[in-house]
Structure 1
């Protein structure tokens, strides 16, 4: 069935891309909360990726859209910048999980645990909570400490990744998925109960108010500032992904993903290679966790549920496991679906109900169908795009080679690991 679907973007003229950006940037400026305008301006990044121009021109146009046009036309609109910041957070998270799932082929269902470790590492010291177990009343730390805590969050999450990896990576396949799923829940439960006998995390009541970043005396507490902070982090993670993909370690990850026995026979240490993947992917989640805590100014264990891990995994699979642009597209699509489309549709139905035009049972609230939608997305991807919306370059080459040899490609890709297909 996958072969019947001919979905591929041709090279797009530069003029068309420019006109698209102008139209949707104008709509974004004129309309207060337009889902179509926001989706249109984000989709322009994908158009730039496929535009018929040199790599330097495409990078320049993309940078102008992200660094100039979006802040200029939507910078005063708190709603747009809030949504853009949330999209950025999940893009960064998905890129981190892409190292574990996409490059190394390790199915991690507890990735949110590393996100939580980074968030709590900052929140405990950026609130007065640390005074509960550290004498001297030295806390909360000021917002200037946010910047060094990005490194602290990275280190703490990497340690969590290694601690998980040491006992877990001796199993593989379905067992690895089950154990990582359990690890994610264990970490959440620990944070939920770590308010006794010594109150470290304040348990289910959470931590607030968390200090927001400061730089040269400027309090960076609005979504506008967080948008640029997240862009810098995404740029760093993208560059790291690219460097890893073409490095010796990255090639070792791919070798392990394709065939562990062959990789081991070539002298690759499975344990060390897998541990490096877990620690690297976890470290990126820790950095994003620090940003998330500072942005929300409140966290509690309910912010780090199993559904978060599933959602990030769906982003990676939907966009294309191992594909950097694919993962970015998948993360943006799923986040907008959750944050804008489902939420706005739910608000619209509630307004209709309050005006007496419809009578909607609470069971039919669109915001409650997140799990159903994730499942449907996975099924549709498995049927029509088993390698994701934008497959990795190596996988594209493999698909073309298999097609030329006459074999079917319907059940290839990471979804075969989820479904047990061969």
Structure 2
């Protein structure tokens, strides 16, 4: 087996051929057996295989784009389970974007945030209030609800407003660290949820615990987006932009500043890094991604209420980051996908299967051990196993390596180049 894997590592053609055979087989099985969760998961697993292949980054992105934009929707659309598959895929994309935002705060900057779902709530209510009749209670001008075309504007508005809330959160917590930082951010998340829950008096802004219903669906070119298969492409575009921005930040001057603050604040400050500005920027950028996805979530669900933004949601997003690998963009993507699919599909299907066996009299399960009650227990057990055997995460962060000889040669060329240009000018004179 080791000989086969070692041969495949150096043979790109063999990797590509085997990969395409695998993709064709899994997509074909998904088309033929529409209600097969296994076929759906195996097709998604091809993206993880693609990550480990020794191909150029651009080629990997191109192949992944073809799978996500064309192959996955087409294979799933051949049967009645199409919308359910797209629902799971859409929620996976939403949670990946949120986990990438939290990864900036926790993984790169080292600031433990337990109230991250508050920014998600800010984005959701930003669109929900103005996309229903609720805004007419306190806005002296305008006609509400706004049309579906305003959704595209509110994606930017939700991003900016959530970033503002991120700065407002960052200002009072700059002097606290570690456990105290976690307590403060946890309190901030609960305050936001309670404010939205009680902001129906004296002026009814959020409709309190009743929530906002009948949120106007987004529209583009006169087409209303109401199905998960339509929101799938919206989330895919936003997620692509989020991944691009995060990758650009990771190895930029700002990203290196975040990592320096995470490792040692005193040393970072001694090297000239502005701690206040660096931390506030991390809170603002991380919150902006969550705010954008809050707008998408409100439009997709057409209903917003405070129960969607509890502490459990913040913990779940934090688990995605830790499980995937703090500071690792591919790891966070994998961790968010694994946790979301486990919660929404794998454990749900497993629960339905056990319930069906119990109803048919095949097995007898006591009420205390019913699958519906044991779902969270199974999920927690799986997380413990991951933590024990993959303590650094599924895909740990990798520090970039540089060739010392190449760096010296580049430095020498940069030093010689001004001398050559000066000599050329003197010759011309």
Q: Same fold by TM (over 0.5)? A: yes
Following the alignment from structure 1 to structure 2, what is the Cα–Cα distance between the partners of residues 54 and 78?
Answer: 33
In 2: Cα distance, 1:81 partner to 1:51 partner: 26
| C-alpha distance after superposition, 1:210-243 (max 9, x if no partner) | 1111111011111111111111111111111111
Give the 3 Å change call, closer, same or farther, for CA 326–128 of structure 1 in structure 2: same
1:142 is matched with which residue? 147
The residue aligned with 2:209 is 204
TM-score by length of structure 2 reads: 0.86
Can you give the 5+ residue segments of structure 2 that lack an aligned partner in the other structure?
A: 1-5, 403-429
Q: Aligned equivalents of 2:101 and 2:22: distance in 1?
A: 30
Larger radius of gyration: 2
The corresponding residue for 1:152 is: 157
Q: How far does residue 366 in structure 1 lie from its aligned partner after superposition? A: 3.6
Equivalent residue, structure 2, for 1:64? 66
The match for 1:217 is 222
Alpha-carbon distance change, 264 to 377 in structure 1, aligned in 2, over 3 angstroms: farther
Q: CA deviation at 1:53?
A: 2.4
Task: Kindly report which structure 2 residues correspond to 1:256-295, keeping only aligned pairs within 5 A, or say none.
Answer: 256-295=261-300
Q: Is the 8 A contact 1:311 1:374 kept in 2?
A: no
Partner of 1:193: 198
For the residue of structure 1 that corresponds to 2:171, the secondary structure is: helix
The reply to whether residue 36 of structure 1 matches residue 38 of structure 2 is yes
Task: Provide Cα deviations, 1:273-331, integer angstroms capped at 9, x if missing partner.
Answer: 11110110000000000000000111111111111111111111111111111111111
- Structure 1 segment 10-409 matched on structure 2, within 5 A: 11=9, 13-75=15-77, 77-135=82-140, 138-369=143-374, 371-373=376-378, 375-394=380-399
Are the aligned partners of 2:355 and 2:371 in contact in 1 as well (CA < 8 Å)? no
2:3 corresponds in structure 1 to none
Distance 1:392 1:112 in 2: 24
Query: What's the CA shift string for 1:136-178, capped at 9, x where partnerless?
Result: 5711111100000001100111111111111112101011111
Shift of 1:23: 1.2
Q: Separation in 1 of the partners of 2:23 and 2:361?
A: 39
The count of residues paired between Structure 1 and Structure 2 equals: 389
RMSD of Structure 2 on Structure 1 (CA): 2.0
Q: Is the 8 A contact 2:342 2:379 kept in 1?
A: no
Superposed CA offset, 1:49-85 (max 9, x none)? 1113233322221111011101211236111111111
Q: What residue in structure 2 maps to residue 417 of structure 1?
A: none
Counterpart CA distance in 2 for 1:367 and 1:339 is: 13
Cα shift readout 1:253-292 (whole Å, capped 9, x = no counterpart): 0000111110011121212111110110000000000000
Distance 1:370 1:178 in 2: 28
CA contact (8 A) 2:109 2:261 kept: yes
Give the Cα–Cα distance (whole angstroms) in 2 for the partners of residues 149 and 363 of structure 1.
46
- CA–CA distance in structure 2, aligned partners of residues 269 and 47 of structure 1: 40
Larger mean CA deviation between 56-65 and 221-230 belongs to: 56-65
The answer as to whether partners of 2:343 and 2:379 remain within 8 angstroms in 1 is no
Any stretches of 5+ residues in structure 1 without a counterpart? Answer: 1-7, 398-422
Instruction: Give CA-to-partner distance per residue, 1:169-216, whole Å, 9 cap, x none.
Output: 210101111111121111111111111111111111111111111111
| Compared CA separation, residues 168 and 367, structure 1 to 2 (3 A) | farther
State the 1:350 CA deviation: 2.7
Contact 1:244/1:250 (8 A) holds in 2: yes
The secondary structure found in structure 1 opposite 2:115 is: coil
Q: Answer yes or no: is the 8 Å Cα contact 1:75–1:224 preserved in 2.
A: no
TM-score (norm 1): 0.87
Determine the C-alpha separation between the residues in 2 that align with 1:373 and 1:320. Answer: 21
Decide which moves more: 370-379 or 270-279: 370-379
Shift of 1:117: 0.4
Q: For structure 1, which segment, 238-247 or 367-376, has the greater mean C-alpha deviation from structure 2 after superposition?
A: 367-376
Describe the SS at the equivalent of 1:394: coil
